[in-house]
Amino acid sequence: MATYDLVVIGTGPGGYVCAVRASQLGMKVAVVEKNATLGGTCLNVGCMPSKALLHASEMFEEATHSFAKMGVSVSAPKLDLPVMMNFKQQGIDGNVKGVEFLMKKNKVDVLKGTGKILGTGKVEVSADGKSQVIETKNIVIATGSDIARLKGIEIDEKRIVSSTGALSLDKVPGKLLIVGAGVIGLELGSVWHRLGAEVVVVEFLDRILPGMDGEIAKQFQRILEKQGFAFKLGAKVTAVDTSGKTLKATIEPAAGGAAETLEADVVLVCIGRVPYTDGLGLKEAGVALDARGRVQIDPHFATSLKGVYAIGDVVAGPMLAHKAEDEGVAVAEIIAGQAGHVNYDVIPGVVYTTPEVSSVGKTEEELKQAGVAYTVGKFPFTANGRSKVNQTTDGFVKILADAKTDRVLGVHIIGREAGEMIHEACVLMEFGGSAEDLARTCHAHPTRSEAVKEAALAVGRRAIHM
């Protein structure tokens, strides 16, 4: 019987990072993975493939609409979707092989099969009708999440698809109906809209991007509508008729009222994700779940069963790969007797559309609800030199600072490369920095990041370039 210091169930960003850190700390580690490849949802059917298609489709749109005005004459680009999908697959394969390399480099054993917790210190790994029991001092549950489903609407991954199916369509749909105006829906909608689809987004709430800063969300919606998106907010899809050549979706007001029917070639259901705990044997082993099916943990990631911990999408908090990675490092360090820690107030979020949307810390709505007095500094990219010369001036930077201490409480950006620019705000906030600290930091010229400095100056009502 194999024995380990740590067995990690799941090899997504949380799981494999946890395994690497534990190995660095001198532990004998194994990972359990039920899928054919390592990397979890993120590498295989999530973050990475979607970014490949977002990049490729953006290049297609740039060649179609932007090259000529820059003096670059090319014939009208033609879409070769199979080649684009191969480009996506190459990226997946490269990243998956990278994780396999990391496991070998760090001497982490990879156990293929489905993991089940039999109790403290015991994990059963089953594959191809055979099973083995692994003994271990510690177990980390890193099984991630699965797509949330709409009652009465069956996902076949061909015409009614989840994010997984939407990454592998064999032709561009004439009409794409998206259920859910969150990050995933808007990113995948952007991909197919750029390639020629007519996109309609139905959202139960009266706004897009729930949880993001309201002002940013409104501006972003206007930009997407200008690009050609159509939105039906405060509405819900109650049924999809699949009997005809085209799908017929029944849409009703969220507050009740008369229904309407929309036709579509493909319906994408992306209303969120749910913790994945199937087959883990948690109830039998005595691992407690909360009312939403998430594994309950204490501040040190420990579950109700001694020696068993949990991280990532399967526990409370934002379902983000980088949050899972930080938790993976922290729990490995805690198991090793160190002081692992995650600062949940400084976890950035990014929407990888064009323009991008990024955010870290508190929104205005959250600060108002908490009764925190704050000041706002904003700076538009229309007044940023680099953005002007590149003719990419959509969006702005918004900084929220404590009215008494000037400490930065939140930063929100909509604009080109917003996902890269957010990180100086993360570093500043990690060290408890003020808007004045950011405003006094020299930024290279000409860069888009100067808009961040100017927004910090604007907190004190002294922006230079507007």
The CA R_g of the chain, rounded to the nearest whole Å, is 24
Any known ligand binding at 185? yes
- Range 299-302 contact pairs with CB under 8 angstroms and sequence separation of 24 or more: 300/331, 300/334, 300/340, 301/140, 301/327, 301/330, 301/331, 301/334
Any known ligand binding at 460? no
pLDDT band at 1 (very low <50, low <70, confident <90, very high): low
Tokens in use for 457? 């100056």
Q: In angstroms, what CA-CA distances link 194 with 5, 57, 272, 371?
A: 49, 6, 23, 42
If DSSP codes are grouped into helix, strand and coil, which group holds residue 342? Answer: coil
What is the per-residue pLDDT across 390-429, written as a single tens digit (0 to 9) for each?
A: 999 999 999 999 999 999 999 999 999 999 999 999 999 9
pLDDT band at 234 (very low <50, low <70, confident <90, very high): very high
Could you state, in order of their start, the residue ranges of all structural domains in the chain? 4-146+274-336, 160-271, 349-460
What is the per-residue pLDDT across 311-325, written as a single tens digit (0 to 9) for each?
A: 999 999 999 999 999
What is the per-residue pLDDT across 427-450, written as a single tens digit (0 to 9) for each?
A: 999 999 999 999 999 999 999 999
Any known ligand binding at 186? yes
Tokens in use for 134? 């692994």
Question: Considering the domain 160-271 in this protein, what is its CATH number?
Answer: 3.50.50.60
If DSSP codes are grouped into helix, strand and coil, which group holds residue 127? Answer: strand
Catalytic residue (choose from 300, 341, 423, 445):
445
- Cα angle: 24, vertex 360, 397; to 5 degrees: 135
Question: Considering the domain 349-460 in this protein, what is its CATH number?
Answer: 3.30.390.30
Any known ligand binding at 272? yes
Mean pLDDT within 116-136: 97
What is the per-residue pLDDT across 271-286, written as a single tens digit (0 to 9) for each?
A: 999 999 999 999 999 9
For residue 2, pLDDT over 90 is answered with: no
Any known ligand binding at 320? yes
**CATH among 3.40.50.300, 3.50.50.60, 2.60.40.1120, 3.65.10.10 for 4-146+274-336:** 3.50.50.60
Any known ligand binding at 397? no
Query: Which pLDDT value is given to residue 26?
Result: 98
User: Which stretches within 377-449 are classed as H helix?
Assistant: 385-389, 418-430, 435-439
Bridge partners (DSSP) of residue 314 are none
Mean pLDDT within 366-395: 98
Any known ligand binding at 184? yes
**445 annotated active-site:** yes
pLDDT band at 88 (very low <50, low <70, confident <90, very high): very high
Do the domains 4-146+274-336 and 160-271 sit in the same CATH topology, yes or no? yes
Any known ligand binding at 22? no
Any known ligand binding at 51? yes
Percent of the chain beyond pLDDT 70? 100
